[in-house]
Amino acid sequence: MYTPYNTVATAEQALALLKQGNERYLQNRFADKGDYAKERDALADGQHPFAVILTCSDSRTPPEIFFDQKLGDLFTIRVAGNVAGPDCLGSIEYAVEHLKVPLVVVVGHSACGAVIAAYRDADVHGDLKTVLDRIRPACQGSMSEEDAIQANIRHTVEQIRNNTTVAHCQTVVVGAHYDIRSGAVSW
């Protein structure tokens, strides 16, 4: 029967599970996910994710796959450019305070269209402009698109670390970079 990782007590344990999962993904040796119907039934009464993953909404960046995790293991938030606006921060607050998730990971990725557009100061309108306006401060002073992607990860990590609820819960917040071509996550 499916057992959620509700026994994960520390951020270090959670981070180790993510690293092991990415290694399985890179080797194309996935863990047995079991029976989804049984997993849904086991999770119907509650969730016990061991990590919050804030990543880009890019269709090439599904964290449950590149971290090789089961249904219910990750509290996933996906938004273009992996930015932490009020809705995302509220979701993170819920996860760390009410679900007792010990780890938040901000995952940026290679060839991120949102960060590249912000770095190039693309002329966009509507709500997309709001997203790029959240990214632009991180890009200032960047020497390349990849440098801007890394700077955006660091900026978002700091923003989450400075959140009152996250700090109060003593949640560990780390940044990671997913390489779309290789599948590797670097920390």
Which residue's structure tokens are 């020497």? 143
pLDDT of 118: 97
pLDDT digits (tens, 9 = 90+) for 38-56: 888 888 888 999 999 999 9
Residues forming a β-bridge with 93: none
Q: CA 95, CA 103: separation in Å to the nearest integer?
A: 10
What is the tens place of the pLDDT at every residue in 91-107?
A: 999 999 999 999 999 99
5 pLDDT more than 80: no
Q: What does each C-alpha distance from 117 to 71, 130, 132, 139 come to in angstroms?
A: 33, 12, 7, 10
Domains of the chain: 11-186 (3.40.1050.10)
For residue 124, what are the CA distances in angstroms to 84, 120, 130? 19, 11, 9
- Angstrom distance (rounded) from CA 92 to CA 85: 11
What average pLDDT does range 66-80 have in this prediction?
96
Report residue 144 as tokens: 């390349």
How far apart are alpha carbons 89 and 96 in whole angstroms?
11
Which tokens hold the place of 105? 């990971």
Q: Which residues of 173-186 are buried (b: 16+ CB within 10 A; e: fewer)?
A: bbbbbbeeeeeebe
Q: Considering the entire predicted model, what is its pTM?
A: 0.94
